[in-house]
């Protein structure tokens, strides 16, 4: 922990020092830019009668001013990047100090019908998503949420390999995230993709040659007028002809500009992001495969994005008074830019979805890599093919403070079912969530909170937290039955690890005990693997009838009129009760 804090504090300090230098450079460039402008204007005013010198001053002054504007723009970009990187490191420092309450909660991904996410607090306040998520885009956030909930058990070693590699590229990850966080999207990428997909060309083949032909004629008019071969009035008439032609296409160009310009900032910034992916050497298979998806024999994805960004910048000049008048009048600037944008859409729009998906992939993977980097003491699950589903030492929940957390050894074989009893607040539910979350983490390639973790990949399904539905006129008990029915149907399609917490709470004790027994018997006869927590010790009698069933418990004891928990996972059946004691202790009864 100390080394990690030192690392992030050091990074923050270095970045702040760089920021001070950049701010100083910006002030100098602003002063130089103003000086060049004033000197150029004054010099032209004083030497206006000397055409040659005035022309030289205009060229030199204009070039110098343009150079300073570009330099200033680059320095401003660097300033924004540094601010983003400083914020990234400050976030990590805060999280390492135990505060992640300011991070996005992921409430939009809450789904009570999902196989496990609602039961194990994957999303919401103080959730694992809130702790894990460092995505810089809305699409990246959705991709991360999908990775966490898709319940896929394939290619775990390859996922681990990719996460390990990215975890070591700290500066690369931070630069990548900073670039994405600077994107000011006016519309979601989904709408951008939809616009490109549904776009239909509006310019005919004849119109494609119109700007070129018109520009040649305009240059001819200007030259002939300059040499007084044509009267100036002819040039004026041609000026208005150009504006009239532009107005004839105004509806088409305006519609295209309105839609395309909203994506301008996305393409300008994502061009830099794609460059980062293209120019980085990756060794893991998954990362190399993703990198290949944006590489083409003819043109790189970054070049395609940059080309469109520049085309949109040029199109944006239609709002410039000089371009709107002279540019359109003599060169049909607006039509020319619209045709260029449309041509780009025709040639490359089919590649955009893939490129954006690759960016989203890396944005999501960076969160997983960041988690790995921040938890060097966690272990990557060792994938096994023997009878053991999970065999772990010192398994704990990653959201619990390591100083106070009690870790437990846990082992369960395929087709085994564990019954866990224990007093109230003894740690049963937390332990079930620890096992469940560890399975989720293992399946997406993350290291888990344990000293060792051998794992045979399995999908997860749970029933730990059900609720009634007033909207659908459903009782709590009926909702619970629907959930159990879903489990029975689902486990017959694939290998699942089942986690149950105090099932059939919506009925009387006798009926609950009988129903729970029959349900567990059903699961055992289906050769399933799982664990159930219960207060009903009569359920533990099943150990005598089925060799697949084993009893475990969490204990509590009363010492000096105080209830003490050790939170240790033990073999056997819990005999202690604490409900009456707590009611008396809190003076409720």
HEC per residue, 392-409: EEEECCCCCCCCCCCCEE
pLDDT higher than threshold 70 for residue 585? no
Tell me, yes or no, whether 112 lies in a domain: no
Who's near 36: CB < 8 A, 6+ residues apart? Answer: 61, 64, 65, 68
Q: Please, are residues 419 and 542 in contact by the beta-carbon 8 Å criterion?
A: yes
Going by pLDDT thresholds of 50, 70 and 90, the confidence category of residue 257 is confident
Residue 384 sits at φ, ψ, to 5 deg, of -125, 165
Where are the alpha helices (H) located in 47-155, listed in sequence order? 51-96, 128-132, 138-149
* Predicted model pTM: 0.89
pLDDT on residue 471: 43
Give the chain's domain count: 3
Q: Please, are residues 93 and 10 in contact by the beta-carbon 8 Å criterion?
A: no
* Most confidently modeled range among 26-35, 287-296, 343-352, 533-542: 26-35
pLDDT, one tens digit per residue, over 82-130 is 999 999 999 999 999 999 999 999 999 999 999 999 999 999 999 999 9
- CA–CA distances in Å: residue 59 to residues 32, 36, 41, 177: 17, 12, 12, 40
Going by pLDDT thresholds of 50, 70 and 90, the confidence category of residue 227 is confident
pLDDT on residue 263: 83
Which H or E element spans position 462? strand 459-463
Compute the mean pLDDT over every residue in the chain, rounded to the nearest whole number.
90
pLDDT on residue 56: 86
Q: What is the CATH number of the domain that holds 578?
A: 3.40.50.300
pLDDT on residue 518: 93
Domain termination residue (choose one: 353, 374, 395) = 374
Q: Classify strands 459-463 and 556-559 as parallel, antiparallel or unpaired.
A: unpaired
Q: b/e for 354-372, b at 16 or more Cβ within 10 A?
A: ebbbbbbbbbbbbbbbbbb
Q: Please, are residues 102 and 114 in contact by the beta-carbon 8 Å criterion?
A: no
- Whether 347 and 390 share a structural domain: no
Question: Among all chains, which residue has been given the structure tokens 């689902």?
Answer: 490
Beta bridge mates, 420? 533, 552
Q: Which long-range contacts link 35-39 to residues 24+ away (Cβ below 8 Å)? A: 36/61, 36/64, 36/65, 36/68, 37/61, 37/65
pLDDT on residue 206: 76
Q: Which tokens in the block code for residue 135?
A: 């995505």
pLDDT higher than threshold 80 for residue 584? no
Who's near 424: CB < 8 A, 6+ residues apart? Answer: 535, 578, 579, 582
Q: Please, are residues 19 and 83 in contact by the beta-carbon 8 Å criterion?
A: yes
pLDDT, one tens digit per residue, over 18-40 is 999 999 999 999 999 999 999 98
Closest CA to 389 of 463, 488, 458: 458
Tell me, yes or no, whether 206 lies in a domain: yes
Q: Please, are residues 107 and 123 in contact by the beta-carbon 8 Å criterion?
A: yes
Domain termination residue (choose one: 32, 61, 96) = 96
- Whether 370 and 389 share a structural domain: no
Tell me, yes or no, whether 124 lies in a domain: no
pLDDT higher than threshold 70 for residue 587? no
Beta bridge mates, 497? 460, 529
Tell me, yes or no, whether 92 lies in a domain: yes
d(CA 106, CA 95): 17
- Whether 410 and 447 share a structural domain: yes
Beta bridge mates, 419? 532, 551
Tell me, yes or no, whether 155 lies in a domain: no
Range of the domain at 90: 1-96
Q: How many CB atoms lie within 10 A of CB 575?
A: 10
Mean pLDDT lowest among 110-114, 228-232, 295-299, 438-442: 295-299
- Whether 217 and 68 share a structural domain: no
pLDDT on residue 586: 54
- Whether 337 and 220 share a structural domain: yes
- Whether 394 and 490 share a structural domain: yes
- Whether 219 and 244 share a structural domain: yes
Q: Please, are residues 85 and 15 in contact by the beta-carbon 8 Å criterion?
A: yes
Beta bridge mates, 460? 497
- Whether 444 and 356 share a structural domain: no
Tell me, yes or no, whether 163 lies in a domain: no
Burial class (CB in 10 A: 0-12, 13-18, 19+), 428: buried
Q: Which tokens in the block code for residue 441?
A: 């983490």
Beta bridge mates, 530? 417, 498
Percent of the chain with pLDDT over 70: 94
Going by pLDDT thresholds of 50, 70 and 90, the confidence category of residue 470 is very low
- Whether 264 and 404 share a structural domain: no
Q: How many CB atoms lie within 10 A of CB 31?
A: 11
- Whether 369 and 452 share a structural domain: no
Domain termination residue (choose one: 374, 395, 429) = 374
Q: Is 564 helix (H, G, I), strand (E, B) or coil?
A: strand
Q: Please, are residues 139 and 360 in contact by the beta-carbon 8 Å criterion?
A: yes
């Amino acid at each position: 922990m100390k080394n990690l804090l030192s690392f992030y504090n050091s990074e923050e300090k270095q970045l702040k020092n760089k920021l001070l230098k950049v701010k100083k450079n910006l002030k100098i460039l602003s002063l130089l830019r103003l000086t060049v402008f004033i000197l150029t204007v004054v010099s032209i005013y004083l030497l206006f009668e000397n055409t040659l010198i005035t022309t030289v001053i205009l060229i030199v002054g204009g070039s110098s001013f343009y150079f300073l504007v570009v330099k200033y723009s680059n320095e401003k970009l660097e300033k924004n990047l540094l601010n983003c990187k400083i914020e990234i490191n400050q976030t990590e420092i805060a999280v390492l100090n135990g505060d992640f309450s300011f991070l996005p909660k992921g409430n939009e991904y809450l789904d009570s019908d999902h196989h496990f996410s609602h039961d194990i607090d994957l999303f919401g306040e103080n959730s694992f998503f809130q702790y894990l998520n460092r995505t810089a885009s809305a699409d990246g956030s959705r991709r991360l949420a999908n990775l966490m909930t898709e319940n896929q058990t394939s290619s775990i070693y390859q996922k681990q390999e990719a996460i390990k590699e990215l975890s070591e590229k700290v500066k690369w990850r931070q630069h990548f995230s900073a670039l994405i966080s600077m994107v000011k999207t006016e519309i979601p990428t989904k709408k951008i993709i939809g616009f490109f997909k549904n776009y239909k060309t509006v310019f005919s083949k004849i119109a494609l040659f119109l700007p070129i032909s018109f520009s040649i004629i305009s240059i001819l008019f200007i030259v002939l007028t300059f040499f007084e071969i044509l009267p100036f009035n002819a040039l004026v008439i041609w000026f208005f002809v150009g504006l009239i032609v532009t107005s004839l296409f105004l509806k088409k160009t305006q519609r295209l500009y309105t839609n395309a310009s909203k994506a301008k900032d996305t393409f300008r910034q994502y061009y830099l992001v794609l460059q980062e992916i293209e120019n980085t050497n990756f060794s893991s298979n998954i990362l190399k495969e993703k990198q290949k998806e944006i590489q083409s024999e003819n043109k790189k994805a970054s070049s395609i994005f940059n080309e469109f960004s520049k085309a949109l910048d040029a199109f944006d000049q239609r709002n410039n008074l000089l371009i709107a008048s002279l540019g359109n009048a003599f060169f049909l600037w607006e039509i020319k830019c619209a045709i260029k944008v449309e041509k780009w859409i025709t040639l490359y729009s089919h590649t955009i979805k893939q490129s954006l998906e690759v960016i989203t992939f890396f944005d999501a993977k960076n969160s997983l890599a960041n988690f790995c980097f921040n938890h060097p003491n966690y272990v990557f699950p060792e994938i096994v093919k023997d009878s053991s589903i999970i065999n772990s030492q010192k398994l704990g929940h990653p959201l619990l403070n390591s100083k106070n957390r009690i870790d437990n050894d846990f082992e369960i074989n395929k087709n085994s079912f564990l019954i866990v009893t224990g007093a109230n607040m003894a740690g049963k539910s937390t332990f079930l969530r620890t096992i469940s979350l560890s399975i989720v983490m293992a399946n997406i390639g993350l290291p888990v909170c344990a000293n060792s973790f051998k794992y045979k990949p399995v999908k997860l399904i749970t029933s730990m937290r059900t609720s009634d539905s007033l909207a659908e006129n459903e009782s709590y008990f009926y909702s619970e039955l629907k959930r159990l029915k879903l489990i029975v149907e689902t486990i017959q399609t694939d290998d699942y690890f089942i986690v149950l917490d105090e099932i059939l709470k919506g009925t009387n004790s006798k009926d609950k005990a009988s129903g729970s027994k029959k349900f567990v018997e059903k699961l055992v006869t289906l050769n399933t693997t799982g664990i159930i927590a219960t207060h009903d010790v009569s359920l533990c009698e099943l150990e005598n009838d089925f060799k697949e069933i084993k009893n475990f418990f969490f204990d509590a004891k009363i010492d000096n009129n105080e209830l003490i928990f050790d939170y240790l996972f033990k073999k056997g059946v819990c005999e202690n009760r604490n409900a009456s004691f707590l009611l008396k202790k809190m003076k409720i009864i």
